[in-house]
């Protein structure tokens, strides 16, 4: 019983102490929070001077938490502040300056007049501006943007598409570095529009991924990879990616597929990246690539396979330096933590601490080797800046340092209920974080120590760490608030500069009165222009209507003229000299009168064949040359049958024309042959001769009809009075047909009639030249 009574008293005492501690904690918390807003550790003294080193008075000096001062006539100012605070130096006639306090010494801040700054930038060449932008890219975003704006706007006439694309690409790099992916996308697209390269497509895809546009990023990356595999430039790219860039493309595509929960595609692309790096001996990339694959397997629950890839990553990182090894082992430790394998996690993190201690020792022994892994690791430890990231999102980028590793070891011990080791590790982490001013880690360590000591009944230490925790939270809150304000301000300034880039309007220094006057003039001009436009539109519409009407009238007239020509041509084509028909029938009648029934039948058969062919072709403007020569041969045969004692004939055809597919007007030559027989050869005392020759010369068909008859002059003398009164229509019809054919079908047919000999009574020669296409 006495022992039980003692235990009960201890419990009651602990309850009272806990209640008192809680009340004290809340009271102190309120006091600390109130004091945090007013806390300052120094009075910053400084002076503001111009670029010509003249004092600048009346300058607004603004600090955090509403602190304010102004410069006197000599440019001096004083303002309460803390180390790490950012003060703003602003006045309307110069560019705003943001100055971060790094020491307690007096400061001298130089400001540049806006006009001087603009003039200075205008005087610089494109090459100098681009070099300056590259120097300030990761140091001063605002200056970089100003240099690039000047490069784009100084001499627009001399700015080639290549130069413009480089400037826009650099702007994209600037915005992507400052985690403004939406603006980076805009500028990369502008660069690609001017000059498309594989590297810019890759940067655009990375920006799309950073901005959460995963489907667009996937589409762009797949197109890039297909293009790189093929020798054809399907994207019209002027360059190809390096092997390391191809690995980056596969990795980014894998990350995008992870975001869209397509683990199979993510795994395929991460493995393609690993394979490409292995084939090309890119050993430095292998640890991260193995880690990417392990992450996918771990996410899908394939823990054993994931562990094997983490092991490969660790082995590969050992040959790549301390930083790579520490990072890879820390990521693997996170994997063990997620799968509650705390012993393996603790072992890896302790190895990391040993590596960090070893690196610090080496860095202390030799500080001159600034490029060594030791110094690089020291930068990671001191500045909390990640050496590499597992993905491109800043919020998910792990930061590795000794105090963080100790913190995670302590959390692992806590998860296994090993509170003694947990407290030891939390205190080590707290101490290291305090030395390195890592408020985030310090806060977590103090919070855990406060809870663990309270659970162990150590009220004094619990209260101590609770006070530290509250104070650290306030400091961290103030720091985060300043950082958020700083980031917001920088983001806004970059957005403002992007607006200037998009508009490139530098001439907005007009007074309100001038602007009003311009607006008034613009309105009046718009009204006048509107009236003029309506008048012009009406006149244009009327002109178009008249032109359209005139066109239709012209077309109708032309069509009517064509129809008339076709009708006339058809009429001429259907005419055949009635002399031939009547005389042919008379010949048949004479055969019958002489009881030469066989000759009459034969003549009548040939005549009917000729008539049938003539009637069949009466509707056609052109027939094959072979058919025309066949008809002429049949016609000559019939005429010769009637006048055997008057003439002989010859029909010759150039062998080049026998296989031709040229077409000619039907029965065009028949009236000419008929004239030769009836007016030249029939009146000849002795037997005459008629020659019809078809020849080919270049694109022409030359038909020569030659007779040795009485000639044109004697033929006219022999005409009877009745014949003289009648108008000869044979050659006249031929001439009319030629004119109509040349007009309607764009032909080139010519006919010439000449005496065949030296004297006018030695026959006639008619030459017909036809240029007819197939």
223 or 233: which leads in pLDDT: 223
Least confident of 9-18, 230-239, 350-359, 435-444: 9-18
Interval 538-556 mean pLDDT: 88
Averaged pLDDT of the chain: 78
Give the start-to-end residue ranges of the domains of the chain.
Answer: 42-113, 575-771
Q: Which of 303-317, 387-401, 470-484, 740-754 has the highest mean pLDDT?
A: 303-317
Q: Which two tokens stand for residue 560?
A: 């009517």
CATH number of the domain located at residue range(s) 575-771 in this protein: 3.30.565.10
Reduced to 3 states, what is the DSSP secondary structure of residue 73?
Answer: coil
Is 211 in contact with 185 (CB distance < 8 Å)?
yes
The string of DSSP letters for 427-459 reads HHHHHHHHHHT-HHHHHHHHHHHHHHHHHHT-H
- Find residue 88's DSSP bridge partners: 62, 98
CB atoms within 10 A of CB 201: 22
Q: Which two tokens stand for residue 648?
A: 């002989």
Query: Has residue 584 got a pLDDT over 80?
Result: no
Alpha carbons 709 and 685: distance in angstroms, whole number:
9
pLDDT for res 15: 47
The string of DSSP letters for 629-648 reads HHHHHHHHHHHHHHTTTTEE
Is 649 in contact with 636 (CB distance < 8 Å)?
yes
Q: Which residues contact 624 (CB under 8 A, 6 or more apart)?
A: 661, 662, 663
pLDDT digits (tens, 9 = 90+) for 729-760: 667 777 777 777 777 777 788 888 888 765 65
- Find residue 60's DSSP bridge partners: 70, 90
pLDDT digits (tens, 9 = 90+) for 161-174: 888 889 889 988 98
Strands 94-100 and 86-91: antiparallel
Nearest to 255 by CA among 226, 223, 288, 278: 288
Question: Where residue 366 falls among pLDDT bands split at 50, 70, 90?
Answer: low
Alpha carbons 124 and 131: distance in angstroms, whole number:
11
Alpha carbons 316 and 251: distance in angstroms, whole number:
18
pLDDT for res 558: 65
Q: Which helix (H) or strand (E) holds 774?
A: none
Query: Has residue 231 got a pLDDT over 70?
Result: no
Query: Has residue 454 got a pLDDT over 60?
Result: yes
Q: Which two tokens stand for residue 81?
A: 């502040």
pLDDT for res 553: 85
450 or 564: which leads in pLDDT: 450
Q: Which of 158-172, 246-260, 613-627, 630-644 has the highest mean pLDDT?
A: 246-260
What's 276's DSSP letter? H
Owner of token pair 């068909």: 701
Query: Has residue 491 got a pLDDT over 70?
Result: no
Angle between helices 243-259 and 214-229 (to 10 degrees): 150
pLDDT for res 562: 63
Is 428 in contact with 405 (CB distance < 8 Å)?
no
323 or 489: which leads in pLDDT: 323
CB atoms within 10 A of CB 335: 22
49 or 141: which leads in pLDDT: 49
Residue 245, judged by CB atoms within 10 A of its CB (0-12, 13-18, 19+), counts as middle
Does domain 42-113 fall under CATH 2.60.40.4130? My reply is yes
Q: Which residues contact 130 (CB under 8 A, 6 or more apart)?
A: 147, 148, 151, 166, 167, 170
Alpha carbons 752 and 144: distance in angstroms, whole number:
87
pLDDT for res 397: 36
């Amino acid at each position: 019983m006495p022992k039980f009574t003692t235990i009960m008293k201890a419990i009651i005492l602990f309850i009272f102490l806990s209640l008192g501690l809680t009340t004290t904690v809340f009271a102190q918390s309120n006091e600390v929070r109130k004091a945090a807003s007013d806390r300052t550790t120094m009075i910053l003294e400084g002076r503001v001077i111009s670029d010509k080193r003249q004092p600048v008075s009346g300058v607004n000096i603004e600090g955090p938490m509403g602190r304010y001062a102004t410069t006197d006539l000599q440019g001096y100012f004083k303002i309460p502040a803390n180390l790490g605070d950012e003060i703003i130096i602003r006045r309307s006639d110069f560019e705003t300056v943001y100055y971060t306090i790094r020491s307690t010494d007096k400061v001298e801040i130089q400001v540049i007049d806006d006009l001087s700054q603009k003039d200075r930038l205008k005087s610089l060449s494109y090459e100098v501006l681009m070099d300056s932008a590259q120097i300030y890219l990761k140091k001063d975003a605002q200056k970089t943007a100003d240099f690039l704006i000047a490069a784009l706007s100084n001499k627009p006439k001399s700015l080639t598409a290549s130069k413009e694309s480089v400037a826009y690409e650099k702007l994209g790099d600037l915005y992507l570095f400052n985690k403004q992916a939406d603006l980076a996308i805009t500028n990369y697209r502008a660069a690609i529009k001017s000059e498309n390269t594989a590297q810019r497509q890759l940067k655009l895809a990375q920006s799309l991924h950073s901005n959460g546009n995963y489907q667009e990023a996937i589409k762009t990356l797949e197109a890039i990879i297909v293009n790189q595999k093929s020798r054809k430039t399907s994207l019209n790219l002027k360059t190809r990616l390096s092997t390391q860039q191809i690995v980056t493309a596969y990795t980014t595509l894998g990350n995008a597929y992870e975001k869209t929960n397509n683990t199979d595609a993510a795994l395929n692309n991460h493995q393609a990246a690993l394979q490409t790096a292995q084939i090309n001996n890119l050993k430095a990339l292998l640890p991260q690539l193995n880690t990417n694959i392990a992450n996918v397997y771990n996410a899908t629950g394939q823990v054993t396979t994931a562990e094997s890839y983490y092991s490969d990553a660790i082995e590969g990182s050992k040959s790549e330096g301390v930083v790579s090894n520490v990072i890879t082992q820390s990521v693997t430790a996170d994997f063990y933590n997620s799968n509650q394998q705390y012993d393996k996690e603790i072992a890896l993190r302790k190895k990391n601490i040993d590596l960090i201690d070893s690196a610090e020792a080496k860095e202390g022994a030799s500080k001159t080797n600034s490029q060594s892994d030791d110094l690089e690791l020291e930068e990671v430890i001191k500045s909390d800046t990640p050496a590499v990231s597992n993905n491109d999102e800043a919020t998910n980028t792990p930061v590795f340092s000794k105090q963080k590793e100790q913190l995670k070891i302590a959390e692992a011990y806590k998860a296994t209920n090993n509170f003694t080791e947990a407290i030891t590790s939390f205190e080590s982490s707290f101490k290291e974080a305090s030395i390195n001013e890592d408020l985030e880690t310090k806060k977590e360590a103090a919070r855990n120590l406060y809870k663990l000591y309270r659970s162990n009944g150590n009220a004094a230490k619990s209260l101590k760490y609770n006070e530290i925790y509250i104070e650290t939270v306030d400091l961290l809150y103030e720091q985060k608030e300043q950082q958020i304000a700083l980031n917001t301000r920088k983001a806004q300034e970059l957005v403002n500069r992007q607006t200037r880039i998009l508009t490139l309007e530098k001439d907005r220094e007009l007074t309100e009165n001038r602007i009003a006057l311009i607006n008034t003039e613009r309105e009046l001009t718009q009204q006048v222009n509107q009236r003029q436009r309506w008048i012009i539109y009406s006149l244009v519409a009327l002109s178009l209507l008249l032109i359209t009407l005139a066109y239709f009238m012209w077309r109708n007239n032309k069509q009517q003229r064509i129809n008339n020509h076709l009708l006339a041509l058809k009429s001429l084509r259907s005419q055949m000299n009635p002399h031939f028909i009547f005389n042919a029938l008379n010949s048949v009648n004479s055969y019958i009168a002489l009881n030469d029934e066989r000759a009459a039948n034969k003549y009548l058969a040939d005549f009917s064949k000729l008539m049938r062919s003539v009637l069949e072709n009466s509707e056609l403007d052109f027939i094959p040359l072979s058919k025309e020569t066949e008809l002429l041969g049949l016609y000559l045969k019939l005429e010769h049958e009637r006048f055997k004692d008057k003439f002989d004939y010859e029909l010759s055809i150039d062998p080049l024309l026998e296989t031709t597919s040229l077409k000619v007007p039907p029965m065009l030559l028949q009236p000419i042959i008929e004239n030769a027989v009836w007016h030249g050869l029939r009146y000849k005392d002795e037997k005459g001769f008629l020659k019809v020759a078809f020849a080919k010369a270049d694109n022409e068909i030359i038909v020569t009809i030659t007779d040795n008859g009485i000639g044109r002059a004697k033929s006219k003398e022999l005409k009877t009075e009745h014949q003289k009164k009648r108008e000869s229509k044979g050659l006249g019809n031929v001439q009319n047909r030629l004119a109509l054919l040349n007009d309607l079908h764009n032909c080139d047919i010519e006919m010439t009639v000449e005496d065949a000999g030296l004297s006018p009574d030695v026959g006639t020669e008619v030459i017909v030249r036809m240029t007819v296409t197939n």
